[in-house]
Structure 1
Amino acid sequence: MSSSDRATNPTPPQSGPRATYPTEQSPQSRRRWFIAASIGVVIAGLIVAFLGFRSFGDPDISGSATGYDVISPDTIAVQYTVNRKDPSHAVACVVRGRAQDGSEVGRREVLIPASRDVQVGARTEVRTSREAVIGEVFGCTGNVPAYLKPID
Structure 2
Amino acid sequence: MTASGGTLLEDRYGTRPRKTSRRTYWILGACAVLLGGVIAWVGYVNLGTAPIETQQVSFENLPNDAMRFTFEVTRDTPERAAVCIVRTRGLNGSEGGRKEVLIPPGPKAVRVTTVIESGDEPVTADVFGCSYQVPAYLSTDLPPSG
| CA spacing shift, 1:145–1:66, aligned 2, 3 Å | same
Report the TM-score when normalising by structure 1. 0.80
1:48 match = 39
Report the TM-score when normalising by structure 2. 0.83
Aligned counterpart in structure 2 of residue 61 of structure 1, from 52, 56, 75: 52
1:149 match = 139
Q: SS of the counterpart of 2:31? A: helix
Q: SS of the counterpart of 2:26? A: helix
Q: Following superposition of structure 1 onto structure 2, how do residues 102-141 of structure 1 map, counting pairs within 5 Å?
A: 102-115=93-106, 117-141=107-131
1:12 match = none
Q: Which runs of 5+ in 2 are unaligned?
A: 1-6
Q: SS of the counterpart of 2:88? A: strand
| 1:3-43 Cα shifts (integer Å, max 9, x gaps) | xxxxxxxxxxxx523333243233xx243333222222211
Does residue 87 in structure 1 map to residue 78 in structure 2? yes
Given that residues 61 and 83 in structure 1 are in contact (C-alpha distance below 8 angstroms), is that contact kept between their aligned partners in structure 2? Answer: yes
Which letter does structure 2 place at the counterpart of 1:100? L
Aligned counterpart in structure 2 of residue 70 of structure 1, from 61, 64, 76: 61
Which letter does structure 2 place at the counterpart of 1:24? P
- Structure number with larger C-alpha Rg: 1
Q: SS of the counterpart of 1:78? A: strand
Given that residues 73 and 132 in structure 1 are in contact (C-alpha distance below 8 angstroms), is that contact kept between their aligned partners in structure 2? Answer: no
Q: Which runs of 5+ in 1 are unaligned?
A: 1-14
Task: Say how many residue pairs are matched.
Answer: 135
| CA spacing shift, 1:32–1:25, aligned 2, 3 Å | farther
Greater CA deviation, 99-108 or 64-73? 64-73
Query: In structure 2, how many angstroms separate the alpha carbons of the residues matched to 1:94 and 1:20?
Result: 72
Q: SS of the counterpart of 1:46? A: helix
More helix by share: 1
Aligned counterpart in structure 1 of residue 8 of structure 2, from 2, 9, 16: 16
Identity of counterpart residues, as a percentage? Answer: 30
